[in-house]
């Protein structure tokens, strides 16, 4: 591997440290007693008397930092200004950044407890700080908190410890009036080298902290409701629970092909049969389909199933869930997504899918045959294929003419049976099912049913799906005989929902691409230089 000039210099500094007896990658624990953001947010200046002597606080408030308090922080060296004997560095820890003041005469070389460094040791350490430390190095600082004459809360360093030497130079992003210059901005580089993106680009980490808040809030709400988080197989013998193209792998011991799961639905419903009141799983699904700004081949989905509930209950539960998540993440139900302001405050509009199509296109599909719907699709500019059945045609018409128009959260309900092979028939509307999809900002966020629990009806639906597969629909479901056996033991009335966590995170953080909310999105193989 050919090294750049800067990389060669850094390796030289690394060796120089070792020659001086300094371990640039020490194994010992470094105890951190404070973080940048908390220090600056909770700092209290102590007054001085008429002689300039600092007065000790009469009482100490817990969680506050006072002038002169001893502290140990650790992080990455992001800038260094050496001005003779005095220097200022900027340290970036896991929370943010803080200024550190370093005086050559003050700083002590690290020595065993209770010992004073020799003059040679002190000189050596001054050389290390001045000449061998580079931007990106990870260091520990022990000192005290104070406010500079310019008013900036800082740490006055008394000891400096090298914790990890950086051998590659970081791209230095400079900010002026909120604008980044010389930025690490190329999307492919950012997604491929997320570790660098997180270090140098402001706001990137915040997106993933908000994602964690979404998951934490979701789990809290489910747990408080008495539902149980479970784990189900990722490697499956049948790709079931959704209409999608699977990834196929091979199990050598069993000498059989297996699928990476496309959904968790059928296993979770087995657990409802087994007697759980409510179960949920938050985990990865895999679909061997396209990649774009809204889709990644592996994605995180939450699925929840609750016994003795229907899709009407699930609509109420979902709108309240999302309202609470929005408040937990952003402090308000209103979220700016691109040019749109979306309000997640409950309740949301309910609109049957055929009414939505009629509202947007003027065509009433409710009593049309498959061929008539095919002609409508052509009239509204939807490309059709011979393999498409009635349900697929309606889905395509809705997707092309309606879906993108629903900006505020809207429940699209009552899908035709051909579109919903796992959904209970509508109790009042023949030919329709008790299903909804939640549309937000022109995209589907959630899919939910009153779950089909009639095993004979379910078997016939699977047979219909197999007929579509025979016509060339490679997303059609195949019969899961073990799931059918479970249904035959009896599953209570159940409602289930799936929510895409990646898309929910996009909405709650105002991001326009799914790659921005995945720490490591799927990418084409990197060409090695």
- Give yes or no for a contact between 486 and 268, defined as CB atoms under 8 angstroms apart: no
Q: What kind and span of H or E run contains 351? A: strand 349-352
Q: Measured between alpha carbons, how far is 203 from 72 in angstroms, rounded to an integer?
A: 25
394: helix, coil or strand? helix
pTM of this prediction? 0.89
The neighbouring-strand residues paired with 262 are none
Confidence of residue 109 (pLDDT cuts 50, 70, 90): low
Q: What are φ and ψ of residue 24, in 5° steps? A: -75, -5
Q: Which of 67-81, 115-129, 181-195, 302-316 has the lowest mean pLDDT?
A: 115-129
Confidence of residue 119 (pLDDT cuts 50, 70, 90): low
Closest CA to 370 of 350, 392, 352: 392
pLDDT digits (tens, 9 = 90+) for 391-438: 889 989 999 999 999 999 999 999 988 888 889 999 999 889 999 999
395: helix, coil or strand? helix
Confidence of residue 357 (pLDDT cuts 50, 70, 90): very high
pLDDT digits (tens, 9 = 90+) for 135-158: 999 999 999 999 998 999 999 998
**pLDDT value, residue 345:** 98
Confidence of residue 475 (pLDDT cuts 50, 70, 90): low
Closest CA to 76 of 137, 23, 33, 126: 137
**pLDDT value, residue 159:** 87
278-286 and 228-229 strand pairing: parallel
Mean pLDDT over all residues of the chain?
90
**pLDDT value, residue 472:** 72
**pLDDT value, residue 457:** 92
pLDDT > 80? residue 265: yes
Confidence of residue 54 (pLDDT cuts 50, 70, 90): low
């Amino acid at each position: 591997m050919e090294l750049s000039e800067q990389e060669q210099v850094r390796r030289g500094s690394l060796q120089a440290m070792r020659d001086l007896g300094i371990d640039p990658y020490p194994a010992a624990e470094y105890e951190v007693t404070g973080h940048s953001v908390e220090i600056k947010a909770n700092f209290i200046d102590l007054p001085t008397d008429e002689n300039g002597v600092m007065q000790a606080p009469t009482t100490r408030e817990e969680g506050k930092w006072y002038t002169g308090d001893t502290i140990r922080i650790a992080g990455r060296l992001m800038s260094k200004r050496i001005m003779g004997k005095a220097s200022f560095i900027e340290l970036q820890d896991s929370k943010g950044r803080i200024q550190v003041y370093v005086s050559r005469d003050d700083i002590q070389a690290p020595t065993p407890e209770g010992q004073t460094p020799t003059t040679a040791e002190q000189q050596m350490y001054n050389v290390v700080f001045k000449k061998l430390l580079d931007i990106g190095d990870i260091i520990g600082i022990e000192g005290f908190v104070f406010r500079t004459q310019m008013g900036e809360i800082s740490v006055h360093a008394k000891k400096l410890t090298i914790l990890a030497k950086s051998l590659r130079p970081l791209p230095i992003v400079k900010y002026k009036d909120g604008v980044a210059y010389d930025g690490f901005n190329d999307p492919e580089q950012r997604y491929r080298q997320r570790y660098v993106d997180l270090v140098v680009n402001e706001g990137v980490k915040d997106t993933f902290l908000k994602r964690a808040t979404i998951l934490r809030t979701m789990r809290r709400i489910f747990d408080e409701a008495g539902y149980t988080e479970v784990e189900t197989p990722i490697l499956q013998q049948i790709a079931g629970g959704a209409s999608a193209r699977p990834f196929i792998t091979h199990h050598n011991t069993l000498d059989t092909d297996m699928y990476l799961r496309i959904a968790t639905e059928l296993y979770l419903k087995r657990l409802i049969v087994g007697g759980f009141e409510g179960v949920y799983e938050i985990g990865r699904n895999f679909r061997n389909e396209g990649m774009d700004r809204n889709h990644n081949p592996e994605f995180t989905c939450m699925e929840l199933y609750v016994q003795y509930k229907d899709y009407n209950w699930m609509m109420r539960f979902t709108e309240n869930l999302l309202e609470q998540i929005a408040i937990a993440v952003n402090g308000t139900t209103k979220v700016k997504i691109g040019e749109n302001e979306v309000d997640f405050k409950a309740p949301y509009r309910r609109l049957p899918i055929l009414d939505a199509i009629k509202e947007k296109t003027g065509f009433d599909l409710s009593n049309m045959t498959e061929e008539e719907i095919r002609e409508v699709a052509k009239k509204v500019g939807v490309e059709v294929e011979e393999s498409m059945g009635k349900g697929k045609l309606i889905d395509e018409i809705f997707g092309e003419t309606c879906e993108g128009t629903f900006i505020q959260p809207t429940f699209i309900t009552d899908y035709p049976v051909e579109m919903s092979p796992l959904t209970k028939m509508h109790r009042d509307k023949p030919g329709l099912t008790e299903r909804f999809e939640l549309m937000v900002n022109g995209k589907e966020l959630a899919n939910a049913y009153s779950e089909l629990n009639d095993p004979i009806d379910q078997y016939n639906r699977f047979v219909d799906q197999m007929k579509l597969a025979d016509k060339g629909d490679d997303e059609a479901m195949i019969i899961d005989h073990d799931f059918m056996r479970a249904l035959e033991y009896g599953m209570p009335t159940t409602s289930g929902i799936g929510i895409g966590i990646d898309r929910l995170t996009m909405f709650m953080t105002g991001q326009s691409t799914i790659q921005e909310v995945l720490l490591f999105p799927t990418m084409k193989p990197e060409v090695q230089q």
